[in-house]
Structure 1
């Protein structure tokens, strides 16, 4: 796939099934995430992989967080199913640090770029992916269960797998409509 086609036809694939990426494809996806702009070479990200039994462990983390937040039974049931929406979930964490020239926001944006690069990489090799956040990305119970530090922030749950259906390409939103000159 040409880079120009990839950039203009990329879209989320919310219905994902097995198979997920094989080891070579997973390496390609992770390498794409690690290749994003990184001012100061801080590598302000961590990629936590949930696949196989890891999806069940992630579901347990979500269930426990929902219960700790006094969620109703319907939401707890929904939380249990969330990780099962794809054969692989990559939890992307911004691992920020104090730096005199690289503000925390820039480091978080770099981690967000990693999510986008990994989604693009998956798309480029015929897989599908969808970037989700939601309340669990900001939940202290989830952070603690994943062993995150206080300054760490989940910037996305990237669900990766084989698209269950071929979604039609969405109409292009011309970038000029969002631009202005000064």
Structure 2
């Protein structure tokens, strides 16, 4: 409980190498996959991006942004996600056709997977941040970059590495302002 009460994502720009290797990442991935998944549909998949893949994607994002005329300040944020990240795990939402589990529950499962990745990485002593941005949402880029099938989309890109500086604590919601108790 102490971990959950004090957990804090680490800004991606504060993450440096080293990043977890395959052996260290395996339990993080295993823990993250233990999310609510009604009907055991597995409405998601993961793509682990190591430094060589991140460098390639930074180049592809740079070329794409230039070709599409994306504003330099916006382009830089997407390019930087790949150029500056020690390791990233892309969570892709994979909708499953079923009458038993509503689409929204599948979407929420993909979101829970992203939070599970962040929490498992943090609990393992790594820094982690869940980002999206144009590189996740621009179908022209994300489709080929992450080999998205029709209907698939990026739920999150979770960056994992060594934290170079701790962010200051930020204000959190006051329980009384967002919780309503109903007793009868």
The alignment's TM-score, normalised by the length of structure 1, stands at: 0.88
- Residues 66-122 of structure 1 deviation map (CA, whole Å, 9 limit, x = unaligned): 234322455445543321332101111111122102122211110110110110111
What root-mean-square deviation, in Å, do the aligned CA atoms of Structure 1 and Structure 2 show? Answer: 1.9
Q: 1:99 to 1:175 in 2, by over 3 A?
A: farther
Corresponding position of 1:148: 148
Corresponding position of 1:8: 5
| SS of equivalent residue, structure 2 residue 136 | helix
1: CA distance between counterparts of 2:114 and 2:89? 9
Q: 2:103 matched to 1:104?
A: yes
Residues 78 and 134 of structure 2 are in contact (CA less than 8 Å); yes or no, is this contact kept in structure 1?
no
Residues 9 and 170 of structure 1 are in contact (CA less than 8 Å); yes or no, is this contact kept in structure 2?
no
- Residues 11-65 of structure 1 deviation map (CA, whole Å, 9 limit, x = unaligned): 1111100110122220011112211010000111111111120111221332243
Q: 2:55 matched to 1:56?
A: yes
2: CA distance between counterparts of 1:141 and 1:8? 39
Question: How many residues of Structure 1 are paired with residues of Structure 2 in the alignment?
Answer: 179
| SS of equivalent residue, structure 1 residue 93 | strand
| SS of equivalent residue, structure 1 residue 80 | helix
Residues 20 and 86 of structure 1 are in contact (CA less than 8 Å); yes or no, is this contact kept in structure 2?
no
How big is the shift at 1:6? 1.5
Runs of 5+ unmatched residues, structure 2:
none
Q: 2:18 matched to 1:19?
A: yes
Corresponding position of 1:176: 176
1: CA distance between counterparts of 2:108 and 2:135? 19
Corresponding position of 1:41: 40
2: CA distance between counterparts of 1:11 and 1:44? 26
